[in-house]
A and B are shown apart, each in its own frame.
Chain A
Amino acid sequence: MARILVVEDSELQAKVICAQLEAAGMQVLCVSDGIKALEAIDEDRFDAVVTDMIMPRVNGLQLVESLSQKRHSPPVILMTAFGNDEIAAKALAKGAASYVPKAQIEHDLVDTINNTVALQRAGDEQSRALERLIVEQALFVLENDPALIPPVISYIQSRLNERFGDADENLMVQTSIALQEALLNAIHHGNLEVSSELREQGSEIYHQQIEERREQSPYKDRRVTLKSEVSPEGYAFTITDEGPGFDPSSVPDPRDPANLERVSGRGLYLIFTFMDEVEHNDSGNEIRMIKKVAEPGDNEAEEE
């Protein structure tokens, strides 16, 4: 049974709407202004809020704005009247889910509520499942084709956004860059054994050798595997190539900002900067990158 909060300062209007919704099988609480609505939402769970636009103290637009600041809030359906157009348009832009003109309440309100609640529940169902998803793993096996990298990153981004959608937007961009650099390193330097120092001689020579080796054995038969693990605390990527590897201890400090001025070394610098933990295996053909994700508000708590 859907639980609906009706916010309407006209007692008669509120009585009619509540009667209509109860007759449709909904559980209804009616309050007379936006402040009481916010208090009710803090105390109890509602599947939707139906609100008048013009009310004393807190109006419909202000109610929508307040609810949009909350992490989890019910969808808001506006009841609009002639003359409310501008304020209703603002409320829809601020996050209201739908509207019903007051002249159409008898015919449209119940259906609009049912549709809105059904859509909200579909989203909530997935959230409930995600809350119980401990680890999500994926394993990709890639040929030496850099064109494969963007769609793979796009897929991983979509999974990360699903889990950490509330996190800092820059986090997703930085993660994508770190992943891209690691995959390119695995293809170019790992499988194809093209030296990063060749880049110092010019981009054309560097890319020419890459294209040649993509067609030559044994390079062309080598694969890159990418294993991703996403958990509530963050994510980890393990990228393995089938090349001969290298001695990780022979690489200059990847965290040295001097790398920013060099053509080679830039990729590792970005990886080490954007990820929390990075390590190579002993043979140098595998890199593991870990990122821990803070909950929104964690940083504020730390600063306090």
Chain B
Amino acid sequence: MTDSSGGSYDASALQRLERMGGNKLLLELIEMFLEHVPKKLDDARNALDQSDLPLVADTMHSLKSSAGMIGATGFYRLTERAELKAREGDQVELSRLLPEMFAEFDQTKQILERERQERIESS
């Protein structure tokens, strides 16, 4: 599914999370994702600048898990590719992917902020 803002997204993921832990947990997870991802992306950028590709790979792996959990499918695909490229040692491709990941996150963020607002208003 692609939201009108452009981010690729799986709405059923939020529904699954709500089933598992209720609205409260879902809102906490959205909050965590929105805070967590920019910091991790900055960590990955710094690691790439220092050519610490194992750290880039570990960071991407962690982001991939979070993206999969929250339903951010476009962001998930990018982190999956970035983890693979980091393990292969492809710094060039990583340098190309990182800005794309920041852009994809911005679009995902809009979707999640809207979802969060709707849930706050309906609860």
Give the dominant DSSP class at A's interface.
helix
Known: A9-B62, A19-B20. 5 other contacts (CB 8 A): A9-B58, A12-B29, A12-B33, A13-B69, A16-B17
Determine whether the beta carbon of B61 is less than 8 Å from that of A54: yes
Complex CA gap A144/B44 in Å reads 78
Would you call B21 and A16 a contact (CB within 8 A)? yes
Given contacts A12-B29, A15-B32, whether A56 and B69 have CB atoms under 8 Å apart is no
Assembled-state Cα–Cα distance A245/B98 (Å): 90
Question: Does A20 reach chain B (CB closer than 8 Å)?
Answer: yes
Knowing A15-B29, A16-B29, A19-B25 are in contact, say whether A10-B62 is a contact too (CB < 8 A): yes
The answer, yes or no, to whether B91 is at the interface (CB within 8 Å) is no
In the complex, how many residues of chain B place their beta carbon closer than 8 angstroms to a beta carbon of chain A? 21
Of the candidates A12, A52, A56, the one whose C-beta lies within 8 Å of that of B70 is A12
* B110 in contact (CB, < 8 A): no
The verdict on A23 contacting chain B, using a C-beta distance below 8 Å, is yes
- Asked whether A11 and B66 contact (CB < 8 A) given A16-B29, A54-B61, A106-B16, the answer is yes
User: Can you name the residue of chain B whose Cβ is closest to the Cβ of A33?
Assistant: B58
Task: Give bound CA distance, A102 to B33, whole Å.
Answer: 18
Contact B58 A19 (CB under 8 A): no
Question: Which residue of B has the minimal Cβ distance to A23?
Answer: B21
Query: Given that A15-B28, A16-B21 are contacting pairs, would A10 and B58 also be in contact in the complex, using a CB cutoff of 8 Å?
Result: no
- Cross-chain contact B32 with A11 (CB below 8 angstroms): yes
User: Counting CB contacts under 8 A, is B5 at the interface?
Assistant: no
Please list the residues of chain A having a beta carbon within 8 angstroms of any beta carbon in chain B: 8-13, 15-16, 19-20, 23, 52, 54-56, 102, 106
Bound CA–CA A52/B62 (angstroms): 11
Residues of the B chain whose Cβ atoms lie less than 8 Å from the Cβ of A52:
65
Nearest Cβ on chain B to A285's Cβ, whole angstroms: 73
- By Cβ-Cβ distance, the 8 closest A-B pairs, closest first, are A10-B65, A12-B66, A19-B21, A56-B58, A13-B65, A10-B62, A12-B69, A10-B66
Measured in the bound complex, the distance between the Cα atoms of B69 and A15 in whole Å is: 11
For residues 67 through 107 of chain B, which have their beta carbon under 8 Å from a beta carbon of chain A?
A: 68-70
